[in-house]
Amino acid sequence: MGNDIAIDLGTARFKVYQDGKGIVLNEPAIVAVDNMTDEIIAIGTEAYGMLGRTSDRVTVARPLSNGVISDLSLAEHLIAYYLRVVGRSRVFAPRVVVSIPCGVTEVEKRAVVDAIGAAGVRKVCLIEEPVAAAIGAGVDISAPHGCMIVDVGEGATDMAVISLNGIAIANSTHVAGMDFNEAIVKYVRRRFNLIIGDRMAEAAKIAVGCAYPRRKLISFTLKGLDAGSGLPRTTVITSDDMIEALIEPAIAIVRTVQSTLEQTPPELLADIFTDGIYLTGGSANLYGLSTLLYKKTKIPVQTFDCPENCVVIGAGKAIKYIDKLDRGEHGKINPLMPYN
């Protein structure tokens, strides 16, 4: 049989987990298209290098937005290309577990299944991102015990209270990593009268970004276009400036978490208060976000060394549940959702 795989269709990164090998691919989910011929000229890292540096003839696009497919044709090319890169078996098509955000519509689910199916796979199973993140974080989701996962990605923040392999309460907001970048761009324009691009904002966020005051003030040099003179200019932004820039989207995420906790049944809430909130996703790396969440909810927050990989690792560990679905085991709640 072909090697079964798990796919994390992220807004920023496309990740593939191969059964028995771990994460075998982690590339930007970006495609560059020639507008004159409609041909794809670059995918992944090469296309990311073109971001913000193209002429009118080339468009650099993200086929995935807010965790779902926004351009089916480009997504099919992206998926097919990466599956060829990881060496998909040409004799036996693999079975695939794909992570999807909470609350997606049937149309969005069908778009994901069609895009994956077009790459020549044998079976597609869906798993909700918070469930996959919980498995990847090492949580026993099969127990009658509540745990809360907050997955802060690039395009969306998904959160859920999980018990007995299922979601008891789920919530989602489109405030996530891209909004942090946009907030930095707007703040720099307002505060320093400097126009910067998304890549420069991303670099500043990684270097000095924070949602809670740092113990030591650090700075980062921004390069951009002076809004007044139209000439290149540099300026220095500090971590204290970053708090002012990022606090609004960070608080928006915290408020969604608070709203989810308010809807949680008391018994599950007691479990969460004991175990804490599990913070995953690439944007969970933002300094001070876990501290801000703890200060506002009074619930301990568990963080991880590589939170951006929790979803794809969890989806990979869930591959074993495909066999249980095929065997039709009764009395076992399965976290996977078969979609044919």
Give the integer Cα–Cα distance in Å for 324 and 192. Answer: 58
Beta bridge partners of 151: 158, 280
Contact call for residues 277 and 301 (beta carbons, < 8 A): yes
Separation between Cα atoms, residue 259 and residue 109, nearest integer Å: 26
168-182 pLDDT tens trace: 999 999 999 999 999
Q: Is the pLDDT of residue 337 over 80?
A: no
| Pairing, β 157-163 against β 147-152 | antiparallel
Structural domain 140-175+249-306, CATH architecture:
2-Layer Sandwich (3.30)
Alpha-carbon torsion (64, 289, 165, 312), positive or negative: positive
How does residue 54 score in pLDDT terms, banded at 50, 70 and 90? confident
Q: Cα separation of 122 and 43, whole Å?
A: 25
| pLDDT of 92 strictly over 70 | no
Q: What is the mean pLDDT of residues 54-65?
A: 87
User: Can you tell me the distance from the alpha carbon of 233 to that of 256, in angstroms, rounded to the nearest whole number?
Assistant: 38
144, 170, 227, 235 from 97: Cα distances, Å: 24, 20, 47, 46
Give the mean model confidence (pLDDT) for residues 50-62. Answer: 86
C-alpha–C-alpha distance, residues 6 and 97, integer Å:
5
Rounded CA separation 128/57 (Å): 38
Of 94 and 32, the structure prediction assigns the larger pLDDT to 32
Domain ranges in the chain? Answer: 5-133+313-338, 140-175+249-306, 177-245
Short-list 203, 245, 198, CA closest to 220? 203
The CA distance from 117 to 100, in Å, is: 15
**35 token code pair:** 């507008």
Could you say which DSSP state residue 121 is in? Answer: -
The architecture in CATH of the region 5-133+313-338 reads 2-Layer Sandwich (3.30)
Answer whether residue 73 shows pLDDT above 70: yes
**Residue 158 bridge partners (DSSP):** 151, 172
The CATH code of the domain at 177-245 is 3.90.640.10
What is the chain's mean pLDDT, rounded? Answer: 90
CA torsion 298→155→11→2, rounded to 10°?
50
Structure confidence at residue 1 (pLDDT):
44
pLDDT digits (tens, 9 = 90+) for 12-41: 899 999 988 899 999 999 999 998 898 999
Give pLDDT, residue 91.
44
Please state whether 297 falls in left (phi above 0), alpha (psi between -120 and 50) or beta: alpha
3-state secondary structure of 249: helix
